[in-house]
Amino acid sequence: MGYVITIDGPAASGKSSVSRELSKKLGVPWVSTGAFYRGLAYVAQQLKTDLDNPVALSELCFSSFWKIVLTSENTQVWFEGKNVTDKTSHEDVGNIASKISHFPEVRQSLLDHQRNCAVENIGLIAEGRDCGTVVFPRAEAKIYLTARSADRATRRAQELGLDKSVLEAQQKQRDIQDSTRKVAPMQVPDEALVIDTSELSLDDVVGKAYQFIQQKLK
Instruction: Name residues contacting ligand DC, limited to 70-99 (CB under 6 A).
Output: 94, 97-98
Q: What are phi and psi of 49, to 5 degrees?
A: -75, 140
Chain-centroid distance, C-alpha 132? 12
> Does the footprint of ligand DC cover residue 11 (CB under 6 A)?
yes
* Cβ 177 to ligand DC shortest distance, Å: 7
Query: Which part of the chain contacts ligand DC (CB under 6 A), choosing from 123-131, 156-164, 193-201, 210-218?
Result: 123-131
In a 3-state reduction of DSSP, which class is residue 159? helix
Q: How far apart are CA 51 and CA 100, in angstroms?
A: 7
> Does the footprint of ligand DC cover residue 18 (CB under 6 A)?
no
Query: Which part of the chain contacts ligand DC (CB under 6 A), choosing from 29-37, 46-54, 57-65, 209-217?
Result: 29-37
32 vs 193 by CB, closer to ligand DC: 32
Which member of 34, 39, 54, 123 binds ligand DC (CB under 6 A)?
34
Q: How many residues does the chain have?
A: 218
Binding mask 191-210 for ligand DC (x = CB under 6 A): --------------------
Q: How far apart are CA 213 and CA 194, in angstroms?
A: 13
Q: How far apart are CA 148 and CA 20, in angstroms?
A: 22
* Strands of the chain, DSSP E: 4-8, 30-32, 66-70, 75-79, 82-83, 124-128, 141-146, 193-196
52 vs 215 by CB, closer to ligand DC: 52
Query: Which part of the chain contacts ligand DC (CB under 6 A), choosing from 48-56, 124-132, 151-159, 189-197?
Result: 124-132
In a 3-state reduction of DSSP, which class is residue 70? strand
| Interface contacts to ligand DC, rule CB under 6 A | 11, 32-34, 37-38, 94, 97-98, 101, 128-131, 174, 178
